[in-house]
Structure 1
Amino acid sequence: MEDKRPLQIYPAEGPAPGGHYAPATISNGLIFVSGQLPVRAGPDHGLATAPFAAQARQAFENLLIVLRAAQSDVDHVAKVTIYLAGIELWPECNAIFAEVFGDARPARSIVPVPGLHYGYRIEVDAIAVAIS
């Protein structure tokens, strides 16, 4: 019988998971990317006090790192969910999202939340189509 368990993806670059989860899993041709916070690999990893634009760019960069590790890219992203600690951040987030995704226009939800882990202001997750 064929093993149907999801394949776990752990990128060599980028931050390690901060809990009991995989950065992404692949199942039935879909990539499920866990929520990405604005953290970097290494000892000086947190950006909680950085301006929102720096946090957003890092969270999206972490998403791209995971997609590359899963052998995918923004052109194959089907759905993105963005959690923002304040709806007033929406216009700036939207502009950075457009920079990152370019001509790709996946389905998207922006969810305002009262706060995120460690005081971060953005978290991003996604579902993408596996290329190979």
Structure 2
Amino acid sequence: MSGGSGTSTDTSVGEITRIDSPPGVPAAVGPYVQATSAGGFVFTTGQIPAAPGTSTGTFEDDVHATLRHLEAVLHAAGSDLDHVVKVNTYLSSPDQLAPYNKVYETYFADRRAARTTVCVGLWGVTLEIDCVAVVRPEGER
């Protein structure tokens, strides 16, 4: 697939759709796509608030930015936050958990998904979030 934005479908291994770089989402920094859709599910790449080494302001601003990027990727892949079944969150400090939960709840209050949250060393970003979602049914697109 070329490095441009958009989607690509590989039908040689079933129906697999790759989402490269949706508008408003930082471009991938390596040889990967932002999401892959296969078998009725969307698997996202870890989303970050901005380019590594930069920040959008406060940690809470970073969480909002990251979740907005995740929403954009899901939308481009034919899904949305209502259809998320699993979230993986990577924080860079244990002190981030309470403020993260406060912002996270504004996005997932009525549609809680299974979630794993761990504290890890990240490369120049405050957090990273990836998820698995179900593709929206045809009538909801």
Pair in the same fold by TM > 0.5: yes
Runs of 5+ in structure 1 lacking a partner? none
Q: What's 2:36 paired with?
A: 25
Q: Deviations over 1:37-60 (max 9, x none)?
A: 1117xxxx8633732111111111
Matched to 1:52, the amino acid is F
Q: Which moved more, 1:46-55 or 1:121-130?
A: 46-55
Structure 1 Cα separation of the partners of residues 134 and 32 of structure 2 = 20
Q: Secondary structure at the match of 2:85?
A: strand
Pick 1 or 2: higher relative contact order, CA cutoff 8 A, min separation 6. 1
Matched to 1:80, the amino acid is V
Contact 1:31 1:130 in 2 (8 A): yes
Structure 1 Cα separation of the partners of residues 21 and 76 of structure 2 = 5
Q: What's 2:16 paired with?
A: 6
How big is the shift at 1:71? 1.7
Between the aligned residues of both structures, percent identity stands at 34
Contact 1:80 1:109 in 2 (8 A): yes
Scaled by the length of structure 2, what TM-score is found?
A: 0.81
How big is the shift at 1:117? 1.4
Structure 1 Cα separation of the partners of residues 54 and 99 of structure 2 = 17
Q: What's 1:117 paired with?
A: 123
Alignment root-mean-square deviation, CA:
2.0
Aligned residues: 126
Q: Secondary structure at the match of 1:117?
A: coil
Runs of 5+ in structure 2 lacking a partner? 1-10
